[in-house]
Structure 1
């Protein structure tokens, strides 16, 4: 999104080639890709998850209005598989636990991404020419449109939270903190009119983030999630 003065297709294709090479060879001169391939190998992260992620990132090379199938494909690759990659790390090779929590991890990633869409809807539409939400006219977004999106997100959050409770304690706090932050942002967005999110980017102020951290830390450590 920030490389508008460059050939983004060429840059992306080169990155895909370098990522594939790092994964195949088990090493890369790019320190970030080298660390990534080491993590993939250590935690046995499925190559399919990586390919799905890259496919979704490739979709962003074009300005587009998403239909339902494209919307679901984008969320799968940009968010749900990220949840699964994290879950691979959190479960430390426990395949039974991974499979048990897999649907919940995908739903939590989906909720986070849909919140990002609502938060960034003004810039995505006005500056990048994107409309991720199918069957919604962003320029005339109604309260009914917004409420339908929010109901979908609420269900994702519900299923995602169940998965957080099943995580090993060593991994739970970080995920719970992200959940509380995003749910707080969701409540703030839900409380305002649809046209306001087209005028400003809704955020939680820094002090509010500090309070979220402290409350989440206390609740997690005393076991009252």
Structure 2
């Protein structure tokens, strides 16, 4: 094993560590994926997690500057097929290996930027935000799952989009108090915690359930290497929605 291979293995382990530290649900789901694709999904989640931390956690830092630099480093890593940032090195390997569409990455960064200057999300703005923050992540993972099978990718694309959207909306409901009072963001701008509108809440939950139902049909068609892991993540989020 040469030194580049050792560094690549180190990079992959860093992405795995971030995933396991930050999320229980995805850690379990990824662990149940086939070993040959597991590290690629870790690399995608590690990348996404770092960007999330910039906009959600480092309140005493210049977030705009940090996100801009992270974005520049990401594209440089992809183009040069290397980065001294182990998380980006791991991510670029997956992007280049599966030829993940850079439009998905660009949409993701646009949504991260939205969190820096938008505090009250209208319905239309929220739709664009969810596409970039969650749906494209599902599409990146689907690119790995289908591994060059473009016919299967496009057959399952809408299902992956709905699953990503449902997961994100469930996260919004789970974190609504923190988002509202700490981050000063309202993703569901018609849902006021002080005067809870049960009708509006039911509308949101019904919408999520419809998305989950549609997504499940796609999960059933996934390659066997991915099906169990994604289904377990689905079950976790479904139970979280019920809670």
TM-score normalised to the size of structure 2?
Answer: 0.75
Once the 2 structures are TM-superposed, how far is the Cα of residue 27 of structure 1 from its aligned partner?
Answer: 1.3
> Which of residues 235, 239, 242 is equivalent to 1:180?
235
| Residue matched to 1:161 | 216
1:160-207 deviations in Å (ceiling 9; x for gaps): 10110000111101100000000011111xxxxxxxxxxxxxxxxxxx
Instruction: Give 2:195's match in structure 1, choosing from 128, 135, 140.
Output: 140
Q: Which deviates further from its counterpart, 79-88 or 25-34?
A: 25-34
Equivalent residue, structure 2, for 1:33 = 88
Q: By how many angstroms is 1:141 displaced? A: 2.3
Task: Note the aligned Cα RMSD (angstroms).
Answer: 1.0
Which segment is superposed worse, 132-141 or 101-110? 132-141
For the Cα contact (< 8 Å) 2:191–2:201, is it kept in 1? no
Bigger radius of gyration, 1 or 2?
Answer: 1
The structure 2 residue matched to 1:45, chosen from 75, 88, 100, is 100
The count of aligned residue pairs is: 188
1:40-79 → structure 2 map (5 Å cutoff): 40-79=95-134
- Residue 135 of structure 2 corresponds to 80
* TM-aligned CA deviation for residue 63 of structure 1: 4.9
Structure with a larger share of its residues in helix: 2
Shift of 1:133: 1.2
**Alignment partner of 1:16 is 2:108:** no
Off by >6 Å, runs of 4+ in structure 1:
none
Higher relative contact order (CA 8 A, sep 6+): 2
Taking the aligned partners of 2:95 and 2:118, their CA distance within structure 1 comes to: 31
